[in-house]
A and B are shown apart, each in its own frame.
Chain A
Amino acid sequence: MTLEFLVASAIGVLVAGGIYMALRGRTFQVVLGLTLFSYAVNLFLFASGRLTVNRPPIWSKTVTEYADPLPQALVLTAIVITFGMTAFAVVLALRSFLETGSDQVDGDIVPCDDQQSDGNDTG
């Protein structure tokens, strides 16, 4: 079994779990789905630099072969942004729960009313 297979299959499993959770009906589950999905995306991005063992991209006069630093830099910021996004999603979910009393996102509880818009003083 190769490391490549392990990484690829782990990405696949995380994506599957992420999609499934994102399709659940409550905010917290959707957030968990997003988290799983982000793990997969970050891993995928990272893997685009291919897998390298024991050659960290710390420059030295004596070393010629390094792991690809560019995907690493991209993924580093991506991880931090993922946190920002998760935090925002969580807080949005919390606020919407506090406003409406429901943490469901399947549209069954919150009625779809088109009466809300006003300022439409056609007359």
Chain B
Amino acid sequence: MAIPLTLYTLVLLPFVAALLIAGIGGNARILHSGIAAAGSAIGLVLIVSAAARVIGGEEFAVAIAWVPAIGLEFSLMIDPLGLMFAGLILGIGLLVVIFGHFYLAEGEATGRFFASLMLFQGAMLGIVLAGNVLLLLIFWELTSLSSFLLIGFWRHKSEARKGARMALAVTGGGGLVLIAGMLLLGIVAGSFDLMTILASADVVQASPLYPVILILILIGCFTKSAQFPFHFWLPHAMAAPTPVSAYLHSATMVKAGVFLLARLWPVLSGTDLYTVIVTSVGLVTMTFGAFVALFRHDLKSILAYSTISQLGLLVMLLGFSIKMAAVAAVLHILNHAAFKAALFMTAGIVDHESGTRNIRRLGGLAKVMPITAIIATTAAAAMAGLPPLGGFISKEMMLYETLEISLFGLPWLVPVVATIAATLSVGYSLRLAWHLFFGTPRELQPYARAHDPGVGMWASPGVLVLLAVLMGLFPMLLAGTLVASVAGAVIGEPLPALDLSLWHGVNLALGMSVMAVAGGVLLLWRHKDLLRATASLLKPDANAMFHSLMAGADTVVRKFIVATHTPSLQRMVFATFSVVVLMVIEGAITGGGSLTGPREGLSASPISIVAWLLLIVATVAVVNDERHRFRVLVYISAIGLIIALAFVQFSAPDLALTQISVEVVTILLLLMALNLLPKAPPLLSSSPRKWRDGALACLGGLLVGGAAWAMLTRDPNDPISSYHLANSYSGGGGTNVVNVTLVDFRAFDTLGEIIVLGIAGIAIFALLDTTSRGSAGARLRTWQEDVLHSPESHPIMFVMSTRILLPLVLSAGIYMFLRGHNQPGGGFIAALVVAIAFLLQYLASGFDWTDARRRIGEHTMIAFGVLVAMVTGLGALIFDANFLATAFDYFTLPLIGEFELATAVLFDVGVFCVVFGAVMLALAQLSHISQRAARAHQAQLEEEKAEGSR
């Protein structure tokens, strides 16, 4: 199979599997795990089939432009480093899926589990195969998110939720820092393409930004790989189901940081700053983690701290900036993945079969679960670095390399501390195996319960341990080529001859190793005393520190919000308007030029002056009479009417029609809302506030008016409108340029606008439909009717005239719709006119009568409208035209004569449906609420009357 296809398939496969699993849902465990296993297995086969060529030195990269403007490409590449990690992710993934299938209890949400697991697998594959750092960042964040889902899988458990949140906060936060670092790196290197970045070490390291880049990227790596002092999330993440821990915390998620360090090794490493920071962080983490692991009692907690320690070892090795140290790191990544995943799984088995993970309650389990004991003990021996296991070789290499490095000018520092850490890790490994499987059982109950699991559960760790053994016995055969080529990919140049073997002769590293083992045995022997001695040791509790930090941040943010985001709308609106006014003033002062431009004005007729006066008076009346709410509506409608007249005067018939019909609908809406809102408001504003607001309002009015004046007295600056005028008839097939603009030239805008309108309508429905519940419902039921009504609620004259009017208005609406392309009219106007006709029925005949005769729901209208508009637009694509381009032609029919058919009409049907649906939805819902309230009120009155007569 061609490599590009393989790469895309590899990355997409887990996501497809996740979707499939999530889609199946339900309780089909075998299907869920089957799909996950198949996905991982196919991926593994693909990787293995590509392995020979990749190791052979071929590099494969594929790219699809995604957002070229910012240098983001969907580019994937595979080199030996990516190959090894992809192999680990898929191989261990497969084993974990098998293990998880048997591990999860009856009734657990296996669909959610395996879907999240596959999501995570896809994200990890994305990281290791990404060929563009921006793409890498996307996958990086995706691992944080999907691991959040996995760690918090048992969401009914508080510690699972907390652990998941903490992991997300630390790794996600580190991811944000990493984004900053990577962006700077990309900017300095001049490209976001990984290969280009790796080749520009000189530029990057010479840049003054290098320290910033380095520290930001290192924080990202250290948080992900649980390095001190960001290590604390990892033990808390142990609240996850054991298969998750085995996957995330042995081979994958925590290795992402190590991977990135290795990936960026050619460009970042080699400087003193890099060596000092990375080596010392790794060294501290390695020692600290090993020390803590020695005194933990929970199996998974021991493993968590040992993972922290081992990751520290890897980070330290990469920090050395020595080629052979990179080789050791690569080898140890392989070893660690194998024995740690196996150990996590056996911990899960012990927990599963004995009911506890507390090492102080277990012991002597080798008698009752021999298979598990063999697997776990071998894995622990590999972790301790005992021969003849793989762990021994990599640990030996590590110790050997420490002698090459001199930190802070002290050549003995690293070797001594590393030997101490190695001693501690021998100690905790031996203790884990010894206390668990040998000696006498400490408690009877878990011991009596314990037994070996079925083959399904021990097969996965068994395979891994077998690999760990073979890695020790036949290192060159099994891993020699791979390690050499991976290390070559890390350091960016071919490697000198590599010799992996158990026996390297007697040298200092061997001596250190022997010391470590002896010390470890000593630690195991005196473990009880040590435990007592360290119990009194004051340990800074990272968990408590994290929580107090979070709580502190929470308080600060809360205070900030309370201070700035006051619940007073007035204050915020005032601030907003003030800022805008200041900005306009600033622009007016610095802009220069005169207020009045050279364009000649049109002289005003007396009628227009009268209309202008009316508008001014009505506006003043609105402001002045703000307490008489119904009267204010009359003024508002007068203003709307005058604006409609202005549109008529200034050659905009479409606008005039729209304005007038919207005005009617708006006034109806406000009337209905007023009916429900509280009446007779008390005077709220104080005098000084009114003056202050008045001053701002006058200033704002003056500025905007001035801007309008300055604009109107100047000629437009080469408008694009001539294109619309010139092409309206020939290109759009209509003479009404405004309508053609709406449905053709700017149809995309219109499509967006009808969608917004539809959303507004549905949001209004959502807000009103639920008012019958809760406190809103209670308030609605006690609503008092306080406006005097005519005794006749539906006057017969009104009812009859509106019913006669309905077909007439409908014909007018259809006429306006049809002629819209050539004469003033169109979907918007027709919809408003038709809506008014129906609203009149509601007004005259009441809600019940009208609603019972309604055939099509408004929701359907909105959905149908958007759909029709979209389909019309997409239809254009079939004919190789642009989205939403229109087609038209002229036909002749007997009797009717020549007429035009345009696809724009279809689009206008969509517009019509959405506008009509949204308007009706808003008003009909509102009247429905009023009617419900009125009915409740009526019932209450009758009840009182009945009680009074009794």
Q: Which positions in A face B, CB cutoff 8 Å?
A: 1-32, 35-36, 39-40, 42-44, 46-60, 66-70, 72-77, 79-88, 90-95, 97-101, 103-108, 110, 112, 114, 120-123
The answer to whether B738 has its CB under 8 Å from any CB of chain A is: yes
Q: Which residue of A lies closest to B832 (CB)?
A: A80
Are A92's CB and B547's CB within 8 A? no
- Residue pairs across A and B with Cβ atoms less than 8 A apart, 14 shown, are A6-B612, A12-B705, A20-B697, A21-B623, A24-B570, A46-B647, A49-B716, A53-B650, A53-B651, A68-B716, A82-B662, A103-B677, A121-B158, A121-B162
- With known contacts A53-B602, A59-B729, A67-B651, A77–B697 Cβ distance under 8 A: no
Are A58's CB and B736's CB within 8 A? yes
Which of A48, A55, A57 has the most C-beta atoms of chain B within 10 angstroms of its own C-beta? A57
Are B738's CB and A73's CB within 8 A? yes
The answer to whether B761 has its CB under 8 Å from any CB of chain A is: yes
Q: Give the chain B neighbours of A1 by CB distance below 8 A.
A: 603-604, 609
The answer to whether B60 has its CB under 8 Å from any CB of chain A is: no
Q: Which residue of B lies closest to A20 (CB)?
A: B697
Interface residues on B, range: 35 or more
Secondary structure at chain A's binding surface: helix, strand, loop or mixed?
A: helix
Q: Kindly identify which residue among B698, B709, B735, B764 contacts A91, using a CB–CB cutoff of 8 Å.
A: B764
- With known contacts A39-B640, A76-B742, A20–B609 Cβ distance under 8 A: no
The answer to whether B775 has its CB under 8 Å from any CB of chain A is: yes
Q: Which residue of B lies closest to A41 (CB)?
A: B704
Q: Kindly identify which residue among A13, A55, A94 contacts B676, using a CB–CB cutoff of 8 Å.
A: A94
Are B763's CB and A28's CB within 8 A? no
Roughly how many angstroms separate A74 CA and B746 CA in the complex, as a whole number? 9
- With known contacts A17-B620, A72-B652, A79–B922 Cβ distance under 8 A: no
**Total of A-B residue pairs, C-beta within 8 Å:** 348
- With known contacts A23-B697, A58-B823, A68-B719, A3–B666 Cβ distance under 8 A: no
Roughly how many angstroms separate A80 CA and B659 CA in the complex, as a whole number? 8
Which B589-644 residues have a C-beta within 8 angstroms of A?
599, 601-604, 608-609, 612, 615-616, 619-620, 622-623, 626, 629, 632, 636, 639-640, 643
Roughly how many angstroms separate A18 CA and B749 CA in the complex, as a whole number? 27
Q: Which residue of A lies closest to B780 (CB)?
A: A98
- With known contacts A20-B623, A46-B647, A49-B721, A12–B741 Cβ distance under 8 A: no
Roughly how many angstroms separate A52 CA and B623 CA in the complex, as a whole number? 31
The answer to whether B183 has its CB under 8 Å from any CB of chain A is: no
B762 to chain A, nearest CB (A): 10
B646 to chain A, nearest CB (A): 7
Q: Kindly identify which residue among B602, B724, B929 contacts A4, using a CB–CB cutoff of 8 Å.
A: B602
Are B632's CB and A19's CB within 8 A? no
Roughly how many angstroms separate A106 CA and B709 CA in the complex, as a whole number? 34
Are B626's CB and A57's CB within 8 A? no
Which of A19, A54, A74 has the most C-beta atoms of chain B within 10 angstroms of its own C-beta? A19
Are A11's CB and B915's CB within 8 A? no
Q: Kindly identify which residue among A19, A56, A66, A79 contacts B577, using a CB–CB cutoff of 8 Å.
A: A19
Are B619's CB and A36's CB within 8 A? yes
B919 to chain A, nearest CB (A): 7
Are B669's CB and A4's CB within 8 A? no
Are A90's CB and B612's CB within 8 A? no
Q: Give the chain A neighbours of B195 by CB distance below 8 A.
A: none
Are B705's CB and A9's CB within 8 A? yes
Are A73's CB and B742's CB within 8 A? yes
Roughly how many angstroms separate A108 CA and B571 CA in the complex, as a whole number? 11
Are A80's CB and B673's CB within 8 A? no
Roughly how many angstroms separate A93 CA and B681 CA in the complex, as a whole number? 15
Are A81's CB and B602's CB within 8 A? no
- With known contacts A6-B612, A94-B676, A108-B568, A70–B720 Cβ distance under 8 A: yes
B911 to chain A, nearest CB (A): 9
- With known contacts A23-B570, A106-B568, A14–B609 Cβ distance under 8 A: no
Interface readout for B734-758 with A: 1 if CB under 8 Å, 0 if not? 1111100110001001100100110
Which of B569, B573, B705 has the most C-beta atoms of chain A within 10 angstroms of its own C-beta? B705
Given contact pairs A10-B612, A57-B736, A58-B736, a sample of 8 additional A-B residue pairs in the complex whose CB atoms are under 8 Å apart? A2-B604, A15-B700, A69-B737, A70-B724, A73-B741, A75-B652, A94-B673, A100-B775
